[in-house]
């Protein structure tokens, strides 16, 4: 199926709409409605387990309730019910009074392992969970629950900045292998990740593709964290940091430019600016990669609608957007064609191709 938006051609890669895994809960009964109303209890159980680092402790081997109480320094009241709830949710397994990680928890909730989601979970508990209580007020007045100067204050607080960056990395981590396979990187010599934080994506791409020069463009406060992470990855000197503000400073030139989880922070006018700036920065024959939890007007995706509401709660004017809206911006900016593919059940990658010289 081919859709045309101005000068850009949109190729749907043979897929109708976005992949769907999030489904509406059963709400035909009072029990179903009450279960949905109490879904926040399940979320807090998971977030609390992550906060306690329970899954990392159990990675060492199954443990009894008393072992867990001692190793985590807990009082003990409510602990058995807490562990049993995690079992019922499929996060833990219990055999003969000993608790261990279920396979999904072992893959994604053990600290220090690839695919670890703990950074996001801790950030969600500290930052996202509280603001949802203000959804009604945001819907009434149109203002976010986060303070207008909160982001600027966070940039000057190294501890808060580290937590924020790790939260963003927790969202990105599962997507990195998909992005690494999305295009033929051997065709390109350089990649620029705009808003790339500590360089996790650019660093992994540089490690996977010899000869690919990695670049990160982000605010100057991020640079010390970038230097630390490049040393951890062993990519010091292979990935360069460019400090700046993408609304005031031109973007460095690159064959591939990435805007990941960036456009949803801003309203249409700023999105237009960023896509135009990306077009100017992408080398002839290069490509702009954009990934977000994009919306589909024809198919309601619960997870992505929740993500869009998060933007309303934490940004002045941000929201998720559709593939068609992005394609129109890309066509107006001058990109020759646009194609897209799913990165996972909820995330979409849009590839905006620039004509060669």
Residue 193: other Cβ atoms inside 10 A: 28
Distance CA 183, CA 93 (A): 39
Domain ranges for the chain, please list them: 2-22+150-353, 30-108
Q: Which of 261, 264, 291, 353 is catalytic?
A: 264
Q: Residue 22: its pLDDT value, please? A: 53
Q: Residue 127: its pLDDT value, please? A: 87
Please check the confidence at residue 5 and state whether its pLDDT lies above 50.
Answer: no
Topology match between the domains 2-22+150-353 and 30-108? no
Q: Where would I find the H helices in the chain? A: 30-37, 39-52, 54-59, 65-72, 79-88, 103-108, 118-123, 129-131, 135-141, 150-155, 158-172, 176-182, 200-208, 223-233, 268-281, 302-314, 323-333
Q: Residue 24: its pLDDT value, please? A: 66
Please check the confidence at residue 251 and state whether its pLDDT lies above 60.
Answer: yes
Please check the confidence at residue 16 and state whether its pLDDT lies above 80.
Answer: no
Distance CA 195, CA 159 (A): 19
Q: Residue 14: its pLDDT value, please? A: 37
Q: Residue 180: its pLDDT value, please? A: 94
Q: Residue 166: its pLDDT value, please? A: 86
- Class for domain 30-108, per CATH? mainly alpha
In the chain, the percentage of residues whose pLDDT exceeds 90 is 78
Is residue 264 annotated as part of the catalytic site, yes or no?
Answer: yes
Distance CA 70, CA 188 (A): 53
Between 19 and 72, name the one with better pLDDT. 72
- pTM to 2 decimals? 0.86
Largest CA distance in the chain: 69
Please check the confidence at residue 154 and state whether its pLDDT lies above 60.
Answer: yes
Lowest mean pLDDT among 56-65, 109-118, 222-231, 324-333: 109-118
CATH of domain 2-22+150-353: 3.40.50.150
In this prediction, residue 158 has a pLDDT band, given cuts at 50, 70 and 90, of confident
């Amino acid at each position: 199926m081919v859709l045309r938006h101005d000068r850009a051609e949109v190729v749907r890669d043979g897929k109708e709409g976005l992949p769907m895994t999030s489904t509406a809960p059963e709400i035909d009964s009072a029990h179903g409605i009450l279960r949905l109303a109490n879904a926040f209890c399940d979320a807090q159980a998971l977030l609390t387990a992550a906060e306690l680092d329970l899954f990392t402790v159990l990675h060492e081997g199954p443990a009894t309730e008393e072992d867990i109480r001692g190793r985590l320094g807990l009082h003990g009241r409510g602990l058995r019910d807490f562990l049993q709830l995690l079992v019922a949710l499929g996060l833990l397994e219990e055999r003969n009074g000993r608790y261990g990680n279920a396979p999904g928890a072992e893959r994604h909730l053990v600290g220090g392992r690839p695919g670890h989601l703990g950074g996001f979970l801790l950030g969600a508990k500290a930052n996202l969970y509280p603001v949802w209580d203000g959804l009604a007020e945001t819907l009434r007045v149109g203002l976010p629950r986060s303070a207008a100067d909160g982001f600027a204050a966070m940039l000057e607080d190294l501890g808060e900045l580290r937590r924020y960056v790790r939260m963003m990395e927790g969202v990105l981590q599962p997507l990195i292998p998909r992005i690494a396979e999305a295009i033929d990187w051997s065709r390109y010599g350089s990649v620029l990740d705009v808003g790339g934080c500590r360089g996790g994506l650019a660093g992994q791409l540089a490690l996977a593709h010899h000869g690919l020069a990695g670049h990160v463009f982000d605010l100057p406060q991020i640079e010390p964290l970038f230097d630390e992470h490049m040393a951890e990855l062993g990519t010091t000197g292979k990935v360069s940091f460019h400090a700046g503000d993408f609304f005031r400073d031109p973007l460095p030139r690159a064959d591939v430019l990435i805007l990941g989880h960036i456009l949803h922070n801003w309203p249409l006018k700023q999105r237009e600016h960023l896509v135009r700036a990306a077009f100017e920065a992408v080398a002839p024959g290069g490509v702009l990669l954009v990934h977000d939890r994009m919306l589909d007007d024809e198919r309601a995706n619960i997870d992505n609608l929740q993500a869009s509401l998060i933007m309303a709660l934490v940004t002045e004017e941000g929201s998720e957007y559709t593939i068609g809206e992005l394609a129109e911006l890309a066509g107006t900016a001058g990109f020759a064609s646009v194609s897209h593919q799913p990165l996972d059940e909820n995330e979409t990658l849009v590839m905006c191709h620039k004509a060669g010289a």
